[in-house]
Chains A and B, each alone.
Chain A
């Protein structure tokens, strides 16, 4: 079987994997690894290595392989497993204690000041600090709400795409997004008021 990602024949490989062909199983893992790792990155719980998470995803894939009927492309199916595994792992992890001003790094504290400033002009500040700060704020959310913000606002996926990945309907996604944004705004405001006081 060709290892070229473009010409990789997934259905043929699946037939071999179902026939306990370990070499084909290895090829399948190698082929899907970049896709799985892209999904896992950014949705990773704290203190968990992305490789461990990817391993969890692939183990689930092999366990549930008999359930795959070919109704959707295999890559969609594995993406959904990856997203639900991330949500399960986020649920397992204990919620971070309340985020305080003192928990922020210097750059993150500066970023709070920058984004809470009233003007809309181009502002200074490292974008990586913004990502770190948002990550800390998102750690305060429920896993499902966090996932919605990640997919909808950061990765800018459509409701249909999120629905395919998570199995949630459009209304539920909108409700979760609304609730999560409200909570994030409140947290950001609290941090700002702590800084002012």
Chain B
């Protein structure tokens, strides 16, 4: 059977050989000193940051809901007196006869 028909096949065969050689040279893989501690610490920091962000998010929604409720109550309570005061002001301020007599 014909083998290694293309240039790419030949290149890949050789690259595979190189990988096998380098793999056999690197059988023993040692964990770098302090690697595990660093990774676990970074993961813990990440988790803490995530939980703080989640807490802020939860509180922020609650605060927004409360602020909305207070604003709605304030509008309901103060709407009538405010509209009455505006109407009174408008009646006196825009009476042309009263303004004319005041000036003369």
Chain A interface residues toward B at CB < 8 A:
22, 25-27, 29-30, 33-34, 37-38, 41-42, 51, 54-55, 58-59, 62-63, 111, 114-116, 120, 123, 125, 127-128, 130-131, 133-134, 153-156, 181, 184-185, 188-189, 192
Contacts A22-B40, A62-B43, A185-B8: A130 and B29 contacting too (C-beta < 8 A)?
Answer: no
Q: Do A188 and B11 touch (CB < 8 A)?
A: yes
Contact of A115 among B14, B18, B19, B22 (CB under 8 A): B14
Contacts A34-B29, A115-B10, A134-B11: A29 and B39 contacting too (C-beta < 8 A)?
Answer: yes
Q: How many of B's residues come within 8 Å of A, CB to CB? A: 33
Taking CB atoms, residues of chain A closer than 8 Å to B37 are 26
Besides A42-B19, A153-B16, 13 other A-B contacts (C-beta < 8 A)? A25-B36, A26-B37, A26-B40, A29-B36, A33-B36, A51-B32, A55-B42, A63-B47, A127-B15, A127-B18, A154-B15, A154-B16, A189-B7
The residue among A34, A42, A59, A127 with the most chain B CB atoms within 10 A of its own CB is A127
Chain B interface residues toward A at CB < 8 A:
2-8, 10-12, 14-19, 21-22, 26, 29, 31-32, 35-40, 42-44, 46-47
Q: Whole-angstrom distance from the CB of B12 to the nearest CB of chain A?
A: 5
Q: How far is the CA of A17 from the CA of B66 in the complex (A)?
A: 39
Q: Do A153 and B7 touch (CB < 8 A)?
A: no
Taking CB atoms, residues of chain B closer than 8 Å to A38 are 29
Q: Do B38 and A185 touch (CB < 8 A)?
A: no
Taking CB atoms, residues of chain A closer than 8 Å to B42 are 55, 59
Q: Return the chain B residue nearest A35 by Cβ.
A: B29
Q: Is the interface of A mostly helix, strand, loop or mixed?
A: helix
Q: Do A55 and B38 touch (CB < 8 A)?
A: yes
Q: Do B11 and A130 touch (CB < 8 A)?
A: yes
Q: Do A131 and B15 touch (CB < 8 A)?
A: yes
Q: Do A120 and B40 touch (CB < 8 A)?
A: no
Q: Do A33 and B29 touch (CB < 8 A)?
A: yes
Taking CB atoms, residues of chain B closer than 8 Å to A55 are 35, 38-39, 42
Q: Return the chain A residue nearest B11 by Cβ.
A: A115
Q: Do A185 and B6 touch (CB < 8 A)?
A: yes
Q: How far is the CA of A59 from the CA of B11 in the complex (A)?
A: 36
Q: Return the chain B residue nearest A134 by Cβ.
A: B15
The 3 closest A-B pairs by CB, nearest first: A130-B14, A62-B43, A131-B18
Contact of A58 among B2, B15, B32, B39 (CB under 8 A): B39
Q: Whole-angstrom distance from the CB of B59 to the nearest CB of chain A?
A: 23
